[in-house]
Amino acid sequence: MQITLGPALYHWQPERWRDFYFRIADEAPIDTVVVGEAVCSKRMPFKQDDIPAVVERLEAGGKRVLHASLILVSLPRERRQTRELMQAAEVEVEINDLTCLASLRERAFAVGPFVNVYNEATAGFLAARGATRICLPPELPLPAVAAIAAAVPQIAVEVFAFGKVPLAISARCYHARAHKLTKDNCRFVCERDPDGMPVKTLDGAGFLSVNGVQTLSDSCASLLCDLPALGRAGVASLRLSPQSCDMVAVARLFREVIDERIAPADAERRLGEIYPDVPFSNGFLHGAPGHIRWEASGALR
């Protein structure tokens, strides 16, 4: 089983973003790295200048590099950026919206977790258009994952295995709204929350995280204990989504479990030391509410 690092979803400062990928390139046992800005087109200029150096370093580190498209494309500028990415000859793309298929012709591509692939017929349709790998939507339960992997064996099926779970995208920026600003004049306040802005219930329970126009879970997905079942289901790759923690250590841990050098339960304990004070969840995979931490003995909150 392979490991993919999804695109950094948060608005990290340019140096931090660049140095994060440099370290991943040099040290992490990761097969594929997805770079680029998927969440907010206003953030793109902050990354643009560093992308060539990041890609070069990642490739020198033996990583395959994919370029992520935007999740929600509505402005003329966003359409243009999307089209240019799809037509850039030298890069491999991961599409996060079907808008991309309008300008993607006759070439192989990867499908990100923001495209609605819920069944084998949709996966087959995308495979016929050139999709070679699909990261399935995080809310898919294991039987659906297995059915898709079995029916479309030419596709490398990936699941969202680590990170706060992306749950929604909007035209409205909730970071700007929380700061009483408009999206057009947002002052990039999302930069102040490199691991998302916590959203708690009125009684103080952790619930969600806001990342600009995107809403994620408060809990962090961890499918470490599900890796044997995912292997049996035909999953080819695990997606780790960057959080503000030691992602090299996270990747090493997943690699050790894949290689059966450490028991999944022990690994998850260590994961709690690498990314402390965040509850882990895997409910979606078990057909349960996504926030649930499901164990073989039954559901535990």
Residue closer to another protein by CB (options 78, 226) is 78
**Residue 68 sits in the site that holds another protein (CB under 8 A):** no
**Residue 116 sits in the site that holds another protein (CB under 8 A):** yes
Task: Among 35, 140, 157, 220, indicate the residue that binds another protein (CB under 8 A).
Answer: 140
Q: Segment near another protein (CB under 8 A), from 25-33, 38-46, 52-60, 168-176?
A: 168-176
Q: DSSP readout, the chain?
A: -EEEEPPP-S---HHHHHHHHHHHHHH---SEEEES--S-GGGHHHHHTTHHHHHHHHHHTT-EEEEEPPSS--SHHHHHHHHHHHH-TT-EEEESSGGGGGT--SS-EEE-TTS---SHHHHHHHHHTTEEEEE--TT--HHHHHHHHHH-TTSEEEEEEEEEEEEEE-SS-HHHHHTT--STT-TTGGGG-TT-EEEE-TT--EEEEEETTEEEEEEEEE-GGGHHHHHHTT--EEEE---SS-HHHHHHHHHHHHTTSS-HHHHHHHHHHHSTT--EE-TGGGTS-TT-EEETTEEE-
**Residue 234 sits in the site that holds another protein (CB under 8 A):** no
**What is the rounded distance in angstroms from the CA atom of residue 82 to the CA atom of residue 271?**
36
Residue 274 CB, shortest distance to another protein, in Å, is 23
Burial of 203 (0-12, 13-18, 19+ CB in 10 A): exposed
Task: Among 9, 95, 127, 208, indicate the residue that binds another protein (CB under 8 A).
Answer: 208
Could you say which residues in the range 246-275 bind another protein, by CB under 8 A? none
**What is the rounded distance in angstroms from the CA atom of residue 124 to the CA atom of residue 148?**
9
**Residue count, binding to another protein (CB under 8 A):** 70
Task: Among 62, 87, 182, 263, indicate the residue that binds another protein (CB under 8 A).
Answer: 182
Q: Give the chain's radius of gyration (CA, Å).
A: 18
Could you say which residues in the range 272-291 bind another protein, by CB under 8 A? 283-284, 287-291
**Residue 44 sits in the site that holds another protein (CB under 8 A):** no
Task: Among 106, 184, 276, 298, indicate the residue that binds another protein (CB under 8 A).
Answer: 184
Task: Among 135, 173, 190, 247, indicate the residue that binds another protein (CB under 8 A).
Answer: 173
Residue 245 CB, shortest distance to another protein, in Å, is 19
Residue 60 CB, shortest distance to another protein, in Å, is 35
Task: Among 73, 93, 225, 235, indicate the residue that binds another protein (CB under 8 A).
Answer: 73
Q: Segment near another protein (CB under 8 A), from 47-55, 61-69, 77-85, 256-264?
A: 77-85
Chain residues in the site for another protein (CB under 8 A): 71-76, 78-79, 82-83, 97-99, 101-103, 114, 116, 118-122, 125-126, 137-140, 143-145, 147-148, 165, 167-174, 177-179, 182-184, 197-205, 207-208, 210, 215, 217, 283-284, 287-291
